[in-house]
A and B are shown apart, each in its own frame.
Chain A
Amino acid sequence: MSLAVVEGLTRRFDVSKPWLERVIGRQPKRSLTAVSDVSMTIEAGRTYALVGESGSGKSTIGRMVAGLLRPSEGEVRIDGEAVRAPRADVQMIFQDPYASLNPRWRVGDIVAEPARARGMEVEPGALLERVGLRAIDAQRYPHEFSGGQRQRIGVARALSSRPRLIVADEPTSALDVSVQAQVLNLMKDLQEETGIAFLLISHDLTVIRHMADVIGVLYLGRLVEEAAPATLFERPAHPYTAMLIDAAPKLDGFGREVPPPVGEIPDPIAPPPGCAYNPRCPLAIDLCRRERPALEPVGPGRAACHRAGEVRLEGVA
């Protein structure tokens, strides 16, 4: 059953200089399209993972799904109803376990806020115990906890208004490996227990592969491929996906020598014409420079590539 439907989601940001400076310098208004025309479906009780490098727009999509940011075009629908503001049933887990907890508030108040602000009954101690902390910790302040414990507090807060979808924006990238394992296990347990759906946003392919039921790959604000992990990691249909998989360091890749990828992510204010990946793509042909490929079914998934059938991985997965 689909829980959240994202359709034609687009978000532009005004990146012009301040008004006075712009007028004096006679500069035109400039805008950055962080997300263009993204459509996807998040199933209830499942984990949809968005992966991409910096500037891919993955966090912007997450904030629009959570209702923190208005789309410029398109919409996010939950139960057929467009999301226009934050909702009790969609909550978030943030990347930075330090900046995401108000240092002046007691943990109990932090955890209870999403429920209390909406007049719901809540027991902060029980929430804390559910994420592996103690009820008495509600009396403490955030600075008394380690990074991993803080992230658990963030999870407890996200649970307090009994959400059906949690947007987890890089929930473990500020954490050490062993602590990351604790948080990822906790997320899996909660999903099994309560049927919560996750929109997991990460740049880390190993985390994505471990957690996701469906993976969406973003490049420069567009969805370039979408597939289940098994398909995506075995037979990627987009050359960018293949590059990401090849470039990611492997735990068993002792002395592995792969030719490193070429180029860097282009300026998102002036993306290249045609397929945005064409300047870095080993398979690029003239068509790729002229015409942007649409996201179309390829095998069991979807991909936006003119040469989707010819993509090969360098290393053995």
Chain B
Amino acid sequence: MTDAPMLDVPPDAPVKPPSRWRRMVESDLWYAFRTSPVAIVAFAVSTLLILSAVFAPWVAPSNPFDPASLDLMNGFTPPMTPNDFTGATFPMGTDDQGRGVFSTILYGMRISLFVGFMAVAFAMVLGITLGLIAGWAGGVVDAVIMRVADIQLTFPSILVAMLIFGIAKGVIPVQNRDDMAIWVLIIAIGLSDWVQFARVVRGATMVESRKDYVSAARLAGRRGPSILFRHILPNVLSPVLVIATISLALAIIAEATLSFLGVGAPPTQPSLGTLIRIGQDYLFSGEWWILFFPAATLLMLALSVNLLGDWLRDALNPRLR
């Protein structure tokens, strides 16, 4: 060698690589977030709702499922009005059994969010795995997976969920039904939702697997599974994040719909949907608050999460705007 290789470094380059924190602060995503009022409001609302659901036992004035704290005399108290018999005041009124609607909503949201998150997580794992396999293997494997997905798409997702629910009902013994109901709900909603994850991941996998860094990984001696999960997976995740956010909103609504139809969360573990179903019985007798507040909460939750997802999609794909 004749002389040392010339350092190919601009003179003003900083010596230390930027920290994770600096990277985050300077990132385009953070900038897009800071400058979007919709995103900030949607984020604030959904975070507030999620946090108050998570910390319901500390936030809620009473535990609506603890019979000891209930007083039937409190039944049908209108919001912000002292009860005629006990003089107790409830911010959102009470239902027929004297449970504070505010507290039932906080506890109900826990169930709704739990089902929503778990269903999306299930759909994500299933969809990403099948999408990666289909996109990587191609040929017959791809064709089979994607045809199954096509067939799945021809059924409305609520119908799929109800079908699964019906089958589960036949299989699970009666005494376990209430305990299993939540899990059946999660699987039912998750199964009806994996297709879009699979489609997006399959497409992205096909694009990524043609890139040279994948050839380089093969040259390095890596094989299929290792390349798929260590190299390709991290690069197909950003569209997944967008779909997951929007799916969360849809899953929460799907859960509410199923519970409203009576095939979802049991009355012993009421979700927002169950609360709405209970509430509608009293709508025409004048106790509007029993329906109104759970419904308004569902709307706010679904809307804020959905807006967040929409914003994320635009922020990650500037060309779509």
Contacts and interface: CB of A to CB of B under 8 A. Distances in A.
Interface of A: 63, 66-68, 86, 88, 90-92, 94-96, 99-105, 113-114, 117-118, 130-134, 136-137, 139-140, 144, 148-149, 152, 154, 157, 161, 182, 186, 189, 192-193
Nearest to B6: A132
A10 B9 CA distance: 43
A105 B222 CA distance: 15
B contact residues, range: 20 to 34
B221 A96 contact: no
Contact of A132 (B1, B8, B222, B234): B8
B9 A91 contact: no
Contacts of B7: 132-134
Interface of B: 1-2, 5-9, 15-17, 211-213, 215-222, 231, 234-235
Contact of A130 (B5, B8, B217): B5
Nearest to A106: B17
Contacts of A161: 220
A152 B9 CA distance: 12
A132 B216 contact: no
Contact of A104 (B1, B16, B222, B235): B235
B17 A100 contact: no
27 contacts: A63-B215, A68-B215, A68-B218, A86-B220, A88-B221, A90-B219, A91-B219, A92-B215, A92-B219, A94-B215, A96-B212, A99-B211, A99-B212, A100-B211, A101-B213, A102-B217, A102-B234, A104-B234, A104-B235, A113-B217, A113-B220, A113-B222, A114-B221, A117-B221, A132-B5, A136-B15, A137-B17
A144 B235 CA distance: 17
B115 to A, nearest CB: 32
A132 B6 CA distance: 6
Contacts of A182: 6, 8
Given A114-B221, A136-B15, A94 B6 contact: no
B212 A94 contact: yes
Contacts of A118: 220-221
Nearest to B15: A136
